[in-house]
Structure formats: structure tokens, C-alpha cells
Structure 1
Amino acid sequence: MATYLLEGRLRTLLRPKATRLRLAYNAVANMLIGLLLAGWVLRVLVEHNGFDPSRAGFAGPLHALIAVGVALLLGLVFLFIQKLPSRHPIVLLNGFAQVWIVSSAEVMVCWAVVGAVEEARLKAINMPVPAVLAAVVAAFLFSLYHVGHSPPFNTIPMIAKLMVVGLATSAFFFVSRDIYGTLVFHNFLALFGVVTSLGQAGVLHRYEKPIPPLLITAAVSLVLLIVVHIVWLA
């Protein structure tokens, strides 16, 4: 609902100059709900239910560095074998920053919370292959929530394609068990989709210069994720 009210209804992501709308969307839907509320849910589970935060992707720094390195390699390979409407480095940087904060919330909610908790629940009732089932649930909910986004992400064909993106992200998450690596990997997949949609909308030229609000909000969301990790889940 927050995504629809602050992004999909107003088509915020298709309006790079709508700074106030973008900040409101990022602050409420992505930071407040996607990162802080989701982090608080995990904290409650850790403190009162004995949940292992490493199962949600919050492990040690060495584990994170390895996972991020693998994600960078896979993401770059995926990105540069695609037919992109622009390979301008600043366009890609701005696009990466634009989707970073959204990806942070998506990975945190769909995989760190829903995926990991669903796996634990399925394991508790002795379901076979709980990680596989949880991976499908996380991917399905990730694709479904895009009905709240702006075009073309709220269309049925795109939602179907995003199910494939969700399954790829699920595979990386449940194999790596790292939130940071999963975020980097997922963000490369999202970057391709966003740059393509911006190209179709004819607004890519607006991204050929650094857009400070995008870069700043991406940095803030990364810092917030690290703070949630250290303060609540370390």
C-alpha cells in the first residue's frame, strides 16, 4: 500500500525531477517500512523466539565480503550480456542508485524476513525441502507486490517476468545466506529492468549527469541496513 500511494499512483520512479515525491517514497516505503520495520521484526524473533539471524543473511564480515564479491561477478556478467538502451556509466550509476534503496527493502522483506521465517516454519512442521518451498514463496510475493508500482512493473507480463527474477534472487539468498550479497545480486537484475523502462519512457538523457538525491539516499539506505545489523542482529 505504501508503494502504491507514494510511487505507483504518482509514477514517482518515472519522474527523476520529482525530488520530494522520491524522498517521501524512499523514506516511508523503503526505509521506515522496508528496512526498519522489517529489521525490528527480525530483532523480536531473535530475542523472543531464538531465531538465528544468520539464517536471514546476517552473518560475519568475511562471509559478507565473499558473497558480495560473487554477486558483483555474477551481476556484471548478467548486465553486460544484455541489450541495454544505454551503457553510459553515469546512467548506470544513477540507475543502480535509484534501485538500490528499493532493492534493499525488497530483499529485507521478501527474503530476510518472509523467506527465512517461512523456511523455519516449514522446517518446524517437518515439510520436505523447506528452503525450496520458502524460496518459491519469497519469489512469488516479490513479484506480486509490484502491482503497487508504476508502469511497466505493474503489468501482468512484467509480474510474470519478475517471478523469474525472484527465483534467481531466492537461489542466491538460500545458497549464500548473506543479505549484502543478495542485495548486490538482486540490484543488478533490477538495474536492467529500470534502465530498460526508462529507455522506453524516453527519459534516459536526464540520467547522464549525477543525480545527488539518488546517490545520497542509496548511501543512507546502506548505512541504515548496516546499523540494523550491528545494533539489532549482530
Structure 2
Amino acid sequence: FNPFDFPPDKENWTEEDLRELWDDGNHTITGAGWDPEGADEEEWEYVLDMVDRGKEVPIAPFYLPYRKIIPPIPDNHSAIKSPTDLIEELDRIEEFLKWVSYIFEDGSSYEGTVWDDVAQGRGVYSNEDGLVRYEGEWHRNDPEGHGVVEVEIPVIEPVAGSALEKKMRAQGRIIKRDFMSPEEREWLNKDIEDSYRLSSGYAEIPFYEREEWLQEYEKKP
């Protein structure tokens, strides 16, 4: 039985398309991949034996993020001859990153650095309703590296005087309305009334769109 004998892929997805890489390990390693942080005694024995014999250590079947270098650095770059030169080249590349602030059609936004219109470096992304926010490192439009994800989970709030409110109060639940100022509570009630009217197919025409406005000012704003 081979757990990695997957059925044929009719769409011909590649590892680059999936942005992941898989590698095959030695049969001696029975786990789902060799990780120094969680390796057991059997895995360490096998790995150290491979090192003593001067052989490469297979680390897999193990998931590796597919990271296409952006911008590409050629292997025969005349100025890159050591790891230190590579770090200096990456520092020079950072100087050419542009700082942008985008608001997309769906209402989501991104503010941070880009390389050739691709999110690269550091930036902040917020989804259309503002409930999800990521601030941190980016690599080819993907949040990858160090960063913080903030997720605001909406809490169900009952309508004043409803059966749900009575049930929640009986359960000892905290209701946000109780901690609002009188003005905030009044605006909340108006928003709820508007929501009920819209759900019933009622829509109020703004004053500047009415005939009264035209009679008073003779033209629309």
C-alpha cells in the first residue's frame, strides 16, 4: 500500500501551481517527515548514521513551501560570490520596493511595499468588511514570514424586546446595547428599523432626490 499513490490528475496541476513541493524519504523514517524539533530516537539514529557516512539526509515526505525567487538572482551574478554578497544584494533590492496604498473593487485594501505590482516585503491587508487584518511580511502576494493576523468574530446581538433578547438575558449573556450611551442606542435602533424596512422592500428616497428639493433649489446637487 502506497499512501502517496494518488489518482490521475486530469487538470495536470504542478507543484508550482500548488505552490508546494514534496520529496520522498527513506523507508527507515516512518513518520510523515523529519523535523529536528520533533524527531524521535529512531529518526535521529538514522540521520546521524547518514551524516557519519557523509551522505545527504532526506527530509521527507515533507511539505516545503514553493518559493519562486522575486526578483530573480542569476547563478552567475558577478557580484555574488558568497553568502554575504547575497545578503547585500537582497538589501539593495529592498531599496527599489515601492510603497503603495490600494483599495480594491471588493472593498479590501493593501498598504505596503510591492515589487512589479506584486505584494513583496512588508504590508497590511484588510478584507472588505474589516473583520480580518494581516500585518507582516509578504512574498509574491502571499502572507509569508513573520506577521500578525487579527480576526474579529461577529457576535449575535438581539433586537430590543425580542424573544432572543429574553433568552440571552435568562442565560446571563452580555448584551452590547447595555453598555452604549443613549445616543448610540438611539442610532442602533434606527439602523435596525432601516434594516427591517429594506428587508421588506421599502427604500426611502433621499431628500435631495425628491421633488421638494427641486422645487426649492430647481436642480439636483
TM-score under structure 2 normalisation?
A: 0.19
TM-score under structure 1 normalisation?
A: 0.18
Kindly indicate whether structure 1 or structure 2 has the higher relative contact order, using CA contacts under 8 Å at least 6 residues apart: 1
Which structure shows the higher helix fraction?
Answer: 1
